[in-house]
Structure formats: structure tokens, C-alpha cells
Amino acid sequence: MRIDLDFYKSLFLAFLESEKAHVTYHDLIESGVEVSIRNDLNEKFIFHMQLCIDNGLINKEKQECHNLESLGIGSSKNSQYIIDIPMRLSQKGHDFASALNNKEVFNKLKSEFKDMPFKTIFDGGQKLLNHFLKKKMDLLLAEA
């Protein structure tokens, strides 16, 4: 499966738009994130949550999470389950969300970085965001 930046953008938006410090799966679902499809966990959701864990983008209420089970996602012999655990974006998650929420950065990442590894997408997003912000800062300083 490939990284879907649109999916990440909608996932992170649920965190950013929340009035609470921590969100739950119920909150994600209410925000329109496709956590499950026909009573089965959405594979795209699972994939992107695993990448969030791998890259330290999401923490649970008491900090670090190391696997899906630490975020309340598990499976038994015949089924999958979710326990509604409070979680939040880490600082790194907020940094990535900021890059994805910048229209110019998001469009560049989607067009130029779409098949790249996560680290390249993340680092590229941060560099692009800094570049666009520097251009804005230069314009503001020129006006002063």
C-alpha cells in the first residue's frame, strides 16, 4: 500500500480541529475518518496508523506507543477490535500536519513526492514549509 497524503490530511485535521487535548477513535469517526468499512477495520487506516507509530507522529495519553495494541487496535483469531483510547499528535505529528495543511506544500508533496519513502515526504514537507514561510517573511519585512 502507498502513503495517501489526502488520508493523512483528513486524519490529522481531526486532531487539529478538536477542542480536546486528546481524541478517541469515536472522535475520528465523527470527523469523517474512515476507521472501518462494513464492520471491518479499514486497511488504509491501519496502514497509516502503523506509519504514525513507526514515525512517532501519534502518542497515547501517557506518551509513547510502540504498536497498534498500545493504541487499542488488536485482533483475535477471527476478528479485529478497537478500544477507544485517548491519543494526541506528538510535536512531530503537529509539524507534519502543519506541512500538509499548507496548500502550496501539500500540492508539491502530492505531485513531486507521491511515491517517496515517508522520511523523504516528511523532511521534504518541512523544508518546503520553511521555504514558503521564508518567502512570506521576506515579503513582510520588505513592507516594513
pLDDT in tens, 74-109: 888 888 888 889 999 999 999 999 999 999 999 999
The pTM is what? 0.88
In angstroms, the CA 66 to CA 49 distance is 11
In three-state secondary structure terms, 40 is strand
For the chain, the average pLDDT equals 92
Q: What is the pLDDT of residues 34-50, one digit of tens each?
A: 998 877 889 999 999 99
The neighbour count for residue 96, using CB atoms within 10 Å, is 24
Cell numbers for 69: 495494541
pLDDT at 65: 85
Residue spans per domain, the chain: 5-90, 95-143
What residues contact 93, with CB distance under 8 A and at least 6 apart? Answer: 12, 15, 52, 56, 57, 58
> Range with the lowest mean pLDDT among 8-12, 82-86, 108-112?
82-86
